[in-house]
Chain A
Amino acid sequence: MDLKIRVTLTCNNMLRGWRGIMGKCTSICTGLLFAFTCAAQEPAGERGIQDLKKLSLDELFNQEVTVVSRRAENLSRSPSAVQVITGEEIKRSGATTLPEALRLASNLQVAQVNSHDFAISARGFNQPGGLSDKLLVMIDGRTIYTPLFAGVFWDAQNVLLEDIDRVEVISGPGASLWGANAVNGVINIISKSAADTQGGYVSVEAGSFVQDTAAFRFGGKLGTNLYFRIYGQRLDQNGALDSNGREATNAWDMTQGGFRLDWLPQQADTITFQGDVYSGTEQALPSNTTLNGENLVSRWTHTFSNESEFTVQGYIDRTWRRLPGIFAEDLKTYDLDFQYRLSVGERQTWLFGGGYRLMDDEVSNFPSGALAFLPATYDMQLASGFFQDEISLVPDLLKLTLGTKLEHNDFSGIEIQPSIRLAYMPTKRQTVWLAVSRSVRSPSRIDRDYHIPGTAPYIIDGGPNFRAEKAIAYELGYRFEPVHRLSTSISTFFNHYNDIRSVELSDPATGIFQIENGLRGQSWGVELSGRYQATDWWRLNAGYTFLKERIWQKPGHVDLSSGKGEANDPPHQFTIQSIMNLPSDFQLDLTGRYVDRLPSPNVPSYITFDARLAWEFRKHLELSVVGQNLWGSHPEFGPAGTRYEVPRSVFGKVTWRF
């Protein structure tokens, strides 16, 4: 992500000369901290009747009647803070990349760092350099966070937005099911089945920021109950602006293709194969960053009866990136998971499973570089198991969910992540829920193996004693659908964090610093969201999030940035999306947001909105014009002077479906 920029800064700091060892260390360590801050499957949520009408026949046949809790559950009854972004909402927002689409979830903090990098977090802890390490993100069951820094390289996740069925965004811990890293949230990106993407799709975009982008997809049937699709897309985007309003050297291009195969040999079985290949270039000085990768996922779900179901999934993922002069990383992940759902008696549903993951991470450190990951190559293994019991205490009224995940990682050993959730459903349209969960952010390579400079003697000498960061979360929420057309949700939370990462002087004699767990923190907040179908042709979605965070040092710890390196989030943010179907097949859509000031480094608050006007000709041909950032360019992240602004822009799009 922003690793490169921050690291460059660090180098600059080093070159500026030695003004006393402490001063230098401070600046480098601040650099490091900024570098830190840099460098489910759920059945479809309960859709409103208007949404059900839009489903294809195949989708309709796949809707669950009464949604039995699998990995998550029926949205309106789920005892957690879930928000769902539908594929249609993404299309109508005019978003061109996945991170832009995630702005539709008001329970996420999304900030664009430059043309290709985003800082994305839930419930805070978006670190000032653009990395966020307390969020678990999955694309069709494939975990995409990197063990390098326990965050996501968003620039390598260029999925075809047209084929996304929905994105489920859970703010708050999901660790008891999903495991480490699901401390503050889980994002599940779920693509449509190949059976639902039959036929062709071609789109071409051209504009002032999104330069020339083209995508195609074709889906067909290979035999009885065997469906496939293939897709490809190319994105070409200008660089974001520097503080003088000139285009900076961070333009981005990305080419990605892939396939999906869904076989339903009989009603009880679903077998899926899918894969992607991608390659991209990001302009940078003195030389460009390059990245590429490929992945292959296979999944088999077998339903024995209404009472039991078995899923097994395996995937291989390779991702590679090279930041010349800084580092290169080649990560290969091999993962195998299974889960079993079983109704036990009248009142209980068990869900249990296990998994094994091997992450073969090969970093190439550049000689005399500014930083190094040592050892350069690390094979990490992760073994996990989980069990959840959902108990209907009073049928249709009171439901208790108990669960825990046990996970073993190479850095910190066994981690236990239990949760208890209680849901009270006084009517079919109301759920009051409360939950207490413990979750951990297990150590990543940036906590353990990070060294500055790239060769000895080191000023920052890794974090040999770094343990997992822990969080206890208390949540209380209420979901209410007063009428068919309106659904609302309020979630409140209080989180207590311990053992948050800090940088400490480990040996005053030599002036060597190490990465430790010297901080504690608290956060609390309120998330409000509502969806309102005002008329048959007009829908409004809105969300507001209030967030307060406090981080302080444990006794005997200092932390070079006094805790300011771990979180930088807006206290208030507000989003609204308006979707209108106008007469004569016109569509007019607006998406607006207000994001409050970020405290440190200071980023001013901003308001902006995107607008889309489209005209559809018999569902086949669609012409649209999208204006993005119409309020004007503004910075969203990073310290003044070195940060970028995404400009006001406009693009036209032609879409053909056949």
Chain B
Amino acid sequence: MEILRSLFLKSMRRRGAVRLMLGAWVAGGLAFWGTKSHAQNGVSREYQLKAVFLLNFARFTEWPSSAFENPHAPLVIATLGKNPFNDALEDVVRGETVNGRPIAVAHYSSLESIEKAHILFICESESGQIEKLINAFSGKPILAVSDLENFAVRGGMVRFITKNNKIGLRVNLGTLKASQLTMSSKLLRSAELVGTLD
């Protein structure tokens, strides 16, 4: 060990501190230019956070057993429209289970397949057909989530709102109940509630 150390240090001293720094910079610079192009495809922190929220919705919401084909069927988190998460959703659910179920991610481009989803994130690209969407899943055990304005008020279930630079939730308890979904108070206590429970 001592020999290794002295060899390492000797070569370092010979090159000198200045050259060490230069070397580090050249290496850093190369890495920098070499990766400049492909590092663009990251996802914003906002959607990283929202992806983690979606995972927590899976953890803190109860679906009726009829929502699953069998006790081992995966819980499906899906997006509808132009996916803003990139790979963040896949990264988040990897290795996670909820009540023994694995979690799967799906990306849909049309309304047809949404019934397989348990959590459905409606992307901004779908803003033109909100009413149609809300009708399509009303009464079904699908937790519909979106960023879109007035989503919760118009009959969606959960809307992400950004306030004070933090993510908040607006939850419509009425539609939640109509869909036989139960959301844990742990989530609801931090959410803004609209609609009524009756």
Contact = CB atoms under 8 A, between A and B. Distances in A.
B94 interface: yes
Contacts of B49: 52, 60, 63, 65
Contacts of A68: 165
Chain A CB count within 10 A is highest, among B52, B94, B190, for B52
A490 B24 contact: yes
Given A492-B25, A572-B9, A66 B32 contact: no
Interface in B5-57: 5, 9, 12, 17, 20-21, 24-25, 28, 31-32, 35-36, 39-40, 42, 44-46, 48-49, 51-53, 55-56
A526 interface: yes
Interface string B163-194: 11111100000000000000000110010000
B20 A53 contact: no
B39 A427 contact: yes
B92 interface: yes
A524 B17 contact: yes
Contacts of A524: 17, 21
B164 A52 contact: no
Assign chain A's interface to a size class.
Answer: 35 or more
Interface string A55-71: 10110111111111000
A371 B166 CA distance: 55
Chain B binding surface SS class: helix
B17 A482 contact: no
B48 A52 contact: yes
Given A53-B52, A53-B55, A60-B53, A526 B20 contact: yes
B64 to A, nearest CB: 23
Interface string A475-504: 010101110100000101000000000000
A428 interface: yes
A643 B165 CA distance: 52
Given A65-B162, A267-B163, A426-B36, A58 B190 contact: yes
Contacts of A596: 9
A480 B35 contact: yes
Contact of A428 (B9, B44, B186): B44
A478 B167 CA distance: 30
Interface string A591-620: 000101000000001010000000000000
B36 A607 contact: no
B71 interface: no
B3 interface: no
Contacts of B166: 61-65
A528 interface: yes
Contact of B48 (A49, A548, A572, A607): A49
B44 to A, nearest CB: 7
B197 to A, nearest CB: 19
Contacts of A476: 25
Given A61-B190, A430-B32, A572-B9, A482 B52 contact: no
Contacts of A303: 164
B88 interface: yes
B62 interface: no
Interface of B: 1, 5, 9, 12, 17, 20-21, 24-25, 28, 31-32, 35-36, 39-40, 42, 44-46, 48-49, 51-53, 55-56, 60, 87-88, 91-92, 94-96, 162-168, 186-187, 190
Interface of A: 46, 49-50, 52-53, 55, 57-58, 60-68, 267-268, 303, 306, 426-430, 432, 476, 478, 480-482, 484, 490, 492, 524-526, 528, 536, 546, 548, 572, 594, 596, 605, 607
Q: Which 7 A-B pairs have the closest CB atoms?
A: A52-B52, A427-B39, A429-B39, A65-B46, A536-B95, A61-B190, A478-B28
14 contacts: A49-B91, A49-B92, A52-B49, A55-B52, A61-B168, A61-B190, A63-B167, A66-B165, A267-B163, A303-B164, A484-B42, A490-B25, A525-B17, A536-B94
